[in-house]
Amino acid sequence: MPLFSRHDGKLVEDVPRTRAIMPFIMETTGESVVFFEQELDLSLTLPWLKETGERLGHRLSLFPLLMLAISETLHERPRLNRFVSGQRLYQRDEVQISFAAKKSLDDDHPFSTVKRTFPQGQSISEAVTLLRGDIRAARGSELSPIDKELRIFLALPRPLLAMATRLLKWLDFHNMAPAALLADDPMYCSVFVANLGSVKLDAAYHHLYEYGNCPLFCVVGKTHQALRVVDGAPVVRDIAVLKWTLDERVEDGLYCTSSLELLRERMENPASWLAP
């Protein structure tokens, strides 16, 4: 048992032996990653977004639907909402999703990261309103809490900054890192989502970070048309590709792929699980 408890999760007690040994055999996320590509058929999704957006009085895009579908999937499949810390497995207390918003499409403008908690049963209207507020705040001139922390750390001389970073990782390993310091940190989340489709790019696989405890990374590509065979006949479909990076120390491949299949079903038919 760890000496100190974590602020963001509870220790999983009933871990199978083969999974409990994994963080000792594979000590880093870099040697624990599994890559998975997912294709979404948006034939029903795009008309639903258009119709629902018109009813709500504002344009709906694929991104808030995806964020909501991910959150509901993690609530329903909680073993995917776990993380490894200090070579132990923890169940995360909340579903928290991080994403990056570029302040402007200009090359010289940086990205700002956002982390949001998603309660179970949230509506698409609520999700859109909150996410739009997050994006407006991220693109504004006011510094986010994590940017304020980084400004303080980066003001340190390089040797002190390196020592401070190592100290923070050590404290986190032993569950002694201050909760107030990590609460807004986007690398402590259930999943990080990068929406490359918003800048008209295809999806790419993304690495996991050794810092933090994020075990899932999802990259969304641009929507495009592609030829597919349906019931033996060639048809043109609107397609979006998701590329996932998973820490296999968290859960086995069967549970992960079953969870992502549930996510695909929700994305391809939002009317089946979201109220009118």
pLDDT in tens, 70-103: 999 999 999 999 999 999 999 999 999 999 876 5
- 115-150, pLDDT tens digit by residue? 999 999 999 999 999 898 888 877 776 777 777 777
Q: How far apart are CA 192 and CA 206, in angstroms?
A: 10
Contacts of 184 (CB under 8 A, 6+ apart): 115, 144, 145, 146, 149
Give the H or E element holding residue 31. none
Q: So what's the pLDDT on residue 134?
A: 85
- 209-253, pLDDT tens digit by residue? 999 999 999 999 999 999 888 888 899 999 999 999 999 999 988
Q: Work out the percent of the chain whose per-residue pLDDT is above 70.
A: 94
- 153-180, pLDDT tens digit by residue? 888 899 999 999 999 999 999 999 999 8
Contacts of 260 (CB under 8 A, 6+ apart): 36, 38, 73, 244
Q: So what's the pLDDT on residue 171?
A: 94
Sign of CA dihedral 270, 271, 272, 275: positive
3-state secondary structure labels for all residues of 168-236: HHHHHHCCCCCHHHHCCCCCCCCEEEEEHHHHCCCCCCCCCCCCCCCCEEEEECCCEEEEEEECCEEEE
Q: So what's the pLDDT on residue 198?
A: 85
Residue 180 tokens read as: 């107030």
Contacts of 161 (CB under 8 A, 6+ apart): 153, 154
Residue 123 tokens read as: 């509506």
**Is the distance from CB of 205 to CB of 34 less than 8 angstroms?**
no
Q: How far apart are CA 36 and CA 69, in angstroms?
A: 18
Give the global pTM.
Answer: 0.91
Q: So what's the pLDDT on residue 3?
A: 61
Q: So what's the pLDDT on residue 121?
A: 92
Determine which of 111-115, 217-221, 258-262 has the lowest per-residue pLDDT on average: 111-115
Q: So what's the pLDDT on residue 102?
A: 64
Residue 2 binned pLDDT confidence (cut-offs 50, 70, 90): low
Q: So what's the pLDDT on residue 106?
A: 61
